[in-house]
Amino acid sequence: MSQLLTNLRLAAGVAAAHLTDDPIMLYQQLTRRLPAKLVQPLAVLVGRLAPSGSTAMPVLLAALARGDSGDVRRRLSLALTATPTPDRAGALSDIATAAHCPDFADQFLSTAAPTARLQRASARKLWHDGALTSAVAAADNSGRGSRLQRARLTAEVSVLQNWTPVLAKQTFVPVPGRVLHLLTNSLPHTASGYAQRSHSILRAQQDAGWEVLAATRIGYPVQVGKLFAKRVDVVDGVTYQRLLPAKLAATADARLQQQAEELLSLALVFKPSVLHTTTHFVNGLVVRAVAEALGIPWVYEVRGQLADTWASTRAPAARDSEKYRLFQHREAEVMRDANLVVTLGEAMKTNIMALGVSSDKILISPNAVGGRFLQEPADTATARRELGLAQAGLYIGTVSSLVDYEGLDDLISAFALLAPKHPQLRLLIVGDGASRPALEQQVRALGLSERALFTGRVPRALAPVYHQALDVFVVPRKDLDVTRAVTPLKPVEALASARPVVGSNLPALREIIDDGGNGILVPAEDPPELANALSTLLSDARRRKDMGREGRRTVLRERTWAANAELLAERYAGLHHEHEENS
């Protein structure tokens, strides 16, 4: 009961901060965390009942929730024909920013005389664009909400510039064979590829004889709505320690200092001989400070290019923005300071070396498989029967986070081209994310809802079964800097499931997909070419089987978590030797 009260207090503080700072963001987070079976029908009903000319806030919010970008833009355009009050202009600007309509946001901000609320909206828009100094300058210093916003933005700029946690040196004797990980999120509360990779690494290290402990970022998972979270979760024998104070510090720098102090206290009890963390750089700042206080080596695992991920949802000018530049600078700093940098593939290694990190300090630990994926996969009929899916016909689809850069809108467009020629074809999309409402709206608009299934999040144990239910796994990623470099986990699992993979012809995916061997590569963002490749495989069961067999054979030979753990253990041992020599 005491933990629940602590969690409620923590959640209330987080919600209050969001409500004051960015209410539209809070609304989006709530609608994404509530069951889609509840949110989507309600949002669709509001859209149907609302007059076509309505620009009322509930109507706009419903359009935003169901991902109907066309309706959002149409109603925002109508709202511009009237002269909104300053407060309404600020609210409309926030909706436009959230809907990725920056042109409308700018127009609303210019329609009224500045008020405190309008200036807060202006600061949010500038921050969204990456103009950090301008955002701080735009934040009014009058009124409690404005002062809180200015303090938050100022602190975040400081973290992006040169701030670092400060910890006192400790008298510390590490225990060999113990590793403490700091993670952004984890099972059982988050089922993303990030969480799955973390868990697989931890299990493999534990199986190899290491004592492992994982801590998650301060406030998680209460911050994402898990009010009944415990301080400790044990999943498959792996222990996850939560850092759950009753109250989070008010600004980003103070929260990271708070996190560093909590992690240091945990390390003094666990006594690790090495610390290991992952992107992005704030994790590295915390772990670097703790490692220096303890006098032990630390590892930074680069799993993505988060500055590029951020830029991928904005205009091309975002790559020239202040935020992008500072973000990249801090990432490079953390990589150079770490004793070892771990990454996913050759494309990412090349990018890391371009930031000044020497090749011999980088270890490639590719996305891999273990557990049920090592077992002989079931045939499609058996898998579909277990899942309660129609056993007849052909299924194409994916198991993925539903975000814009995954290119699932192109998969839906290709499915629409294939549907008339393949009447028994179905589309299966497993997972959840910010793009789900828009993708479901796209399917509805094409009249294909009865032949497409969006499962949402599924139990972890069923993920391999969904892979096996597919005839062809599809990775239609957009052509962006982040997708050219980052190798995803799910297609590796699909190959281990003996399913052919059709994916975008990008450098990172070429490290996984052997064109003509275990799958087919197609030009990115080209639905007709994607449809042609899929049609080729759908019409040739023997070729699908041969490709699946080749994919599974290669993955089991080259990509297992056990092999990764062995390589990592060797490098850990080398870190200790180097650290002793330098001490």
pLDDT attached to residue 343 = 98
What is the distance between the alpha carbons of residues 535 and 533, in angstroms, rounded to a whole number?
5
The encoded tokens of residue 276 equal: 């290991």
pLDDT attached to residue 89 = 94
List strands edge to edge, sheet with 298-302. Answer: 232-235, 238-241, 211-216, 178-183, 274-278, 298-302, 340-343, 362-364
Domain boundaries for CATH 3.40.50.2000 within the chain: 178-364, 374-559
Helix (H, G, I), strand (E, B) or coil at 458: coil
pLDDT attached to residue 36 = 83
Least Cα distance to 91 among 24, 141, 19 occurs for: 24
Least Cα distance to 138 among 123, 128, 124 occurs for: 123
Cβ neighbours of residue 370 closer than 8 Å, sequence gap 6 or more = 200, 203, 204, 560, 561, 562
Strand-pairing partners, residue 429, are 398, 454
- Architecture of the structural domain at 374-559: 3-Layer(aba) Sandwich (3.40)
CA 128, 134, 135, 141: dihedral to nearest 10 degrees? -170
The encoded tokens of residue 284 equal: 């590295």
Cβ neighbours of residue 1 closer than 8 Å, sequence gap 6 or more = none
Q: How many residues does the chain have?
A: 583
User: Tokens 């602190």 map to which residue?
Assistant: 155
The packing angle between helices 23-33 and 86-98, to 10°, is 40
What is the distance between the alpha carbons of residues 381 and 468, in angstroms, rounded to a whole number?
9
pLDDT attached to residue 34 = 85
The encoded tokens of residue 15 equal: 């919600």
In order along its 583 residues, the chain shows pLDDT tens digits of: 689 889 889 988 888 888 878 899 889 988 988 888 889 899 999 999 999 999 999 999 999 999 899 999 999 999 999 888 998 999 999 999 999 999 999 999 998 778 888 999 999 999 999 999 999 999 877 778 888 899 999 999 999 999 999 999 999 999 999 999 999 999 999 988 999 999 999 999 999 999 999 999 999 999 999 999 999 999 999 999 999 998 999 999 999 999 999 999 999 999 999 999 999 999 999 999 999 999 999 999 999 988 999 999 898 999 999 999 999 999 999 999 999 999 999 999 999 999 999 999 999 999 999 999 999 999 999 999 999 999 999 999 999 999 999 999 999 999 999 999 999 999 999 999 989 999 999 999 999 999 999 999 999 899 999 999 999 999 999 999 999 999 999 999 999 999 999 999 999 999 999 999 999 999 999 999 999 999 999 999 999 999 999 999 999 999 999 999 999 999 998 887 676 666 5
* Residue 316 backbone dihedrals phi, psi, to 5 degrees: -55, -30
pLDDT attached to residue 579 = 67
Element (H, E) at 343: strand 340-343
pLDDT attached to residue 143 = 78
Indicate the CATH number for domain 178-364: 3.40.50.2000
What is the distance between the alpha carbons of residues 278 and 261, in angstroms, rounded to a whole number?
18
Structural contact between residues 164 and 259, judged by C-beta atoms closer than 8 angstroms: no
pLDDT attached to residue 117 = 87
Helix (H, G, I), strand (E, B) or coil at 369: strand
| Pairing assessment for the beta strands 238-241 and 232-235 based on DSSP bridges | antiparallel
Quick check: bond before 23 cis, omega within 30? Answer: no
HEC assignment per residue over 217-286: CCCCCHHHCCCCCCCEEEECCEEEECCCCCCCCCCHHHHHHHHHHHHHHHHHHHCCCEEEEECCHHHHHH
HEC assignment per residue over 27-85: HHHHHHHCCHHHHHHHHHHHHHHCCCCCCCHHHHHHHHHCCCHHHHHHHHHHHHCCCCC
pLDDT attached to residue 577 = 67
pLDDT attached to residue 583 = 59
DSSP per-residue codes, 391-403? -SSEEEEEE----
